Chains A and B, each alone.
Chain A
Amino acid sequence: MIKLDFEHRQAGHCESGVTSNLLNYHGFKISEPMVFGIGAGLFFSYLPFLKMQHAPITSFRVWPGKIFERVTKELDIKKEIHHFRNPKDSMDMLDKILMKGLPVGLQVGTFHLTFFPPEYRMHYNMHNMVVYGKENDHYFVSDTLMEFPVTISYPDLMKVRFAKGTFAPKGMMYFPMYVPAQVDLKPLIIKGIRETANNMVGIPFPIIGVRGIRYLAGRMRNWQKRFGDEKASYYLGQVLRMEEEVGTAGAGFRFIYGAFLHEAAEILQQDWINEISIEMGENANKWREFSYLGSRNCKKRAKPEQSYDFLADILLECADREEKIFRKLIKIK
């Protein structure tokens, strides 16, 4: 029996929440938005050729695993990341690390996750959580989505760690070994903001960043004509689910990023960033408005209440706002 003194803190986004909680355990106080910002988590891409649950994927964040990777690299943290072929080996390794007194981050699939809210149990393999103890055959788990710490049994944990499908976790586990006590965050924040701004406005590819939002808006206008009411509403629902559902803390991470900019302004002591954080907050509210109005079309599928042109116009406005924000941010010094 081992139970580490791990503080469970709920978070909006699983990966940055897990990273922040792990660093917090090692005595490095860092908030979730700060991790998200330094890890350059904000992104946008619309991938009409890749489908999940029979509808195209819209992504509001960077590749899974990138945030932890970037943050630990930038902060100069000693860490280990392991993948496994054999489930038994992976569990033995997990026990060994726990015995050493280190909490472990795991990538898991959500479909067989027993404590997860039933409405989110889909074949989604990019969820992250922390295991911080073991008693007999049960593990103590801190999942940032859940309000309270939970437990999971040995066979169930093995199953979710070896879920199959796209982005299969392959038993991936990661944990920081050594965390420096004091780090100057200023250059890291600047680097993170620059990276995000470049991702959003600097990549000349039509489905990524601000261009991606405009591309999605253009596609959206044709959905009704091309696919009919039912399917158009389902496609819209998919965009909204990716934007609002599990692990975005609302408005496709725009709120978290705004909170990060607000924190960054204080650390960098540059007031103009605080003004931009307010713009970001307003932009996030615009995204919320989009999802609120869009959800009406999902309720009455056969008879859309809002025209798709109108929703596309909101998206274009969001794109314009974000372009303005990131054109300013890319010049940060």
Chain B
Amino acid sequence: MFEKEKLEELKKNQTDWNDNKVGKSLERFPERKKQFATGSNQEVDRLYSPVHLEDFDYDQDLGFPGEYPFTRGVQPTMYRGRFWTMRQYAGFATAEESNKRYKYLLEQGQTGLSVAFDLPTQIGYDSDHALAEGEVGKVGVAIDSLKDMEILFDGIPLDKVSTSMTINAPASVLLAMYIAVAEKQGVSSQELRGTIQNDILKEYIARGTYIFPTEPSMRLITDIFEYCSEHVPGWNTISISGYHIREAGSTAVQEVAFTLADGIAYVEAAIKAGLDVDKFAPRLSFFFNAHNDLLEEVAKFRAARRLWAKIMKERFGAESPKSMQLKFHTQTGGSTLTAQQPDNNIVRVAIQTLAAVLGGTQSLHTNSKDEALALPTEESVRIALRTQQIVAHESGVAETVDPLAGSYYIESLTNKIEQEAMEYIKKIDDLGGAASAIDKGFIQKEIMDSAYEYQKQIESGNRIVVGMNKFQVKEETPKGLLRVDPAVGEMQKEKINQLKGERDNKLVQEKLTILKEAAEGKENLMPHILEAVKVYATLGEVCGVLREVFGEYQQNVIL
């Protein structure tokens, strides 16, 4: 990119500038700190110039948008064609309550749905299970059977909206219910668009809603890949998630490295199960975090895109460009929100929104200002959505593709993040891959070390979080937080009792027995799960059968 001679001259000039100009300036105006670093502790130089990009090659490193290695984006025109999907993660209490919130969000101009399930649902327990007590409807909507799912999507045309579901261990069951609801609306599974998270490895690493041990979990995942490639071709079968890894305290580099390492494990599992890489890989999607260090985050997204393209092409021999495209959803960083002076969070979220958009995200959830305190109210969700709309319509950043490309700093940081992530992936390969690195506690410990380091920086005052460890004010207790009615648990129990009185229990037992036999063998489980949920077998019953056959994951407690 840069002529050798020119570069040499520039290097010399830069050294001169550093010794003379900078030296003199420092005598009079010392810098604020001895060392400068990104939000993830990457050292930051005073100035970036072509000297940092000696081997930079436009074609090889960037290419054009929509072309390998996709550094500049997965589509040729990006947001000039269509903005990212504005998708607010929502769900609480009962299906009825959540259905109302979805309709509200769609009326406000949201373009896709994103379903939050409560913890019992995510861990495969019905609301009447002893371990569900106190948890029903708290962090998401409670779904016990197809009945609840019918209410959740009542009046929402499933051929028109795309739906993302944050569901992992029991992903097959919720996807089956979604297919069944669509069928009742007269919508064929061929027309459905959406995503299931379905990423069990990061549950073991960071999020905690696992059920089954690794091997049967990987089987359930590859069963979904196979089933959807034929029956639900518009469905993103997995959302390989760095979001929760980052929330657990990882650095930006670790977020990229561990997420892509998980991705490698899924691709390997699917290939081992006999699937053709170019058949399932185009439906893999990713999910990243957006934190406050704007430029580092932009570089992170670009590095992840380039690295994944290389992995798919070089490591797995993918031929279809679609298999090499890293498409991703972004959520702004929940852990960056402060409980102190919650209005400040609106500004943080705006910066993070810019990071996601300048990084080329396909869809975005913006957090609400009150989420360090409780689930968001309708008003605060609207501000969060408006933040995206302002960036889309007023900021101008969506008018051209990858506008920060070519910045010496951005390109250097992109290179550095890619390089360091590759080193981590190599280490994980040496440990036997992601699943084995998790078993050994390696990934968890790396994240924890970063999280603890971050905490120490805050407490020592080396890192400032406005309103939390500096610029504090005396505050009133925040008012008007959203509260989930504790009666939700009882209401759900009542619904289950009623359902069990109405459905054909003999038929349910039959379908569950067939599912059990299939689980003991090797067949694809999706069709059997679909059959069971259609006759109103509950989520807990389906997962119960699978628990019997597969057993449960035992967490490796790492401190």
The judgment on whether A and B are partners is no
Chain B positions within 8 Å of A, measured between CB atoms, are none
Chain A positions within 8 Å of B, measured between CB atoms, are none
